[in-house]
């Protein structure tokens, strides 16, 4: 009996029916996030044009956008000396933020690991840190100017002060809440204190450390703007304060929005890095939800 040469036809896989609702759901979520900002801008525009306040005191969003565009792209020169200098102002502020933030991250994580791991270090260092922690970073401005002069250094110093303690306390919390069973298991397999810190304690503390970094980067932007208003003659904070003296409130608001946007992007960058580094945590979280 002859065998048929034609191979059996396999069913062609059809696109998932659930893909379309998932796409619609993502689109809806993005629209949902934009509803409140859109309504705020519309309300602000209407209120500014209603005449309740003089337009010079509360510029409309459209007016702020025109000033911001000239500050960024030098479109028509209406911001005068600031025209086209936005990228340089942002670069100056960002340099101070990331310099102070990097120093505070290095010291905050190192000292926090030491305090959380060693009771001796905790007894020696923590009292001094707890005394310094309630002191507002702004109160250090006179000393910062005396010590470092009018330049980048006082701003970096203030950024460091503002972002150091959130990182420090988050690191201490992460180390102290490390699972003791993991430490016992590591010690039973011959792990030295150094290896326990490197391979067990530090990874276990990373979620808390990243939480502290996200808090600290917001404080860093706030402090660098404060320093630029007083101790520095460049940057977004300086433009904000200088434009206030010339009654250019449209530039003031544009500077405020710029600071908020830069802070949001910095937080987003840390969040993305945390998502890559803490992939193991995301997997365990999903498994816990499924269970």
- What is the number of alpha carbons within 13 Å of residue 278 lying toward its C-beta? 21
- Which pLDDT score, from 0 to 100, does residue 10 have? 53
Q: Say if residue 152 is exposed, middle or buried (CB neighbours under 10 Å; 0-12, 13-18, 19+).
A: buried
User: Tell me: the pLDDT tens digits for 224-233?
Assistant: 988 888 878 8
User: Tell me: the pLDDT tens digits for 115-163?
Assistant: 999 999 999 998 899 899 999 998 998 899 899 888 889 999 999 999 9
User: Tell me: the pLDDT tens digits for 9-38?
Assistant: 555 555 555 556 777 878 878 888 888 888
User: Tell me: the pLDDT tens digits for 223-257?
Assistant: 998 888 887 888 999 999 999 998 899 999 999 99
The pTM assigned to this predicted structure is: 0.83
Instruction: Work out the pLDDT band at 56, boundaries 50, 70, 90.
Output: confident
Measure Cα distances from 6 to 2, 9, 10, 149 in Å: 12, 9, 12, 87
User: Tell me: the pLDDT tens digits for 82-113?
Assistant: 999 999 999 999 999 999 999 999 999 999 99
- Which pLDDT score, from 0 to 100, does residue 7 have? 52
- Which pLDDT score, from 0 to 100, does residue 11 have? 56
- Which pLDDT score, from 0 to 100, does residue 225 have? 87
The full 3-state SS of the chain, as one line of letters, equals CCCCCCCCCCCCCCCCCCHHHHHHHHHHHHHHHHHHHHHHHHHHHHHHHCCCCCCCCCCCHHHHHHHHHHHHHCCCCCCHHHCCCHHHHHHHHHHHHHHHHHHHHHHHHHHHHHHHHCHHHHHHHHHHHHHHCCCCHHHHHHHHHHHHCCCHHHHHHHHHHHHHHHHHHHHHHHHHCCCHHHHHHHHHCCCCHHHHHHHHHHHHHHHHHHHHHHHHHHHHHHHHHHHHHHCCCCCHHHHHHHHHHCCCHHHHHHHHHHHHHHHHHHHHHHHHHHHHHCHHHHHHHHHHHHC
Instruction: Work out the pLDDT band at 190, boundaries 50, 70, 90.
Output: confident
- Which pLDDT score, from 0 to 100, does residue 16 have? 53
User: Tell me: the pLDDT tens digits for 60-75?
Assistant: 999 999 999 999 999 9
- On the question of pLDDT at 281 being above 80, the answer is no
The two three-digit tokens of residue 190, written as one number = 């011959």
Average pLDDT, the chain: 86
- Which pLDDT score, from 0 to 100, does residue 135 have? 92
- Which pLDDT score, from 0 to 100, does residue 285 have? 42
């Amino acid at each position: 009996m002859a065998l048929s040469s034609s191979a059996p036809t396999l069913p062609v896989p059809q696109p998932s029916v659930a893909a379309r609702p998932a796409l619609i759901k993502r689109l809806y979520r993005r629209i949902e996030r934009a509803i409140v900002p859109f309504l705020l801008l519309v309300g602000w525009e209407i209120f500014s044009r209603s005449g309740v306040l003089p337009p010079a005191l509360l510029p409309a969003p459209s007016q702020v956008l025109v000033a911001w565009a000239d500050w960024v792209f030098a479109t028509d020169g209406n911001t005068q000396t600031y025209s086209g200098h936005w990228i340089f102002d942002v670069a100056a502020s960002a340099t101070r933020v990331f310099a102070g933030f990097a120093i505070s991250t290095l010291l905050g994580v190192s000292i926090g690991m030491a305090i959380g791991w060693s009771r001796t270090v905790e007894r020696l260092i923590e009292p001094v840190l707890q005394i310094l922690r309630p002191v507002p970073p702004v109160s250090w401005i006179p000393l910062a100017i005396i010590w470092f002069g009018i330049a980048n250094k006082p701003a970096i110093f203030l950024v460091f002060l503002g972002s150091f303690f959130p990182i420090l306390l988050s690191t201490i919390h992460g180390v102290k809440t490390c699972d003791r069973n993991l430490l016992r298991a590591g010690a039973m397999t011959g792990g030295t204190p150094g290896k326990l810190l490197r391979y067990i304690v530090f990874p276990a503390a990373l979620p808390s450390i990243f939480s502290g970094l996200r808090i600290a980067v917001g404080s860093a932007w706030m402090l660098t703007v404060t320093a630029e208003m007083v101790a520095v003659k460049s940057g977004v904070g300086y433009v904000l304060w200088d434009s206030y003296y010339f009654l250019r409130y449209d530039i003031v608001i544009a500077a405020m929005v710029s600071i908020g946007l830069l802070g949001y992007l910095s937080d987003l960058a840390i969040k993305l890095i945390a998502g890559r580094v803490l992939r193991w945590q995301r997997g365990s979280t999903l498994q816990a939800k499924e269970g």
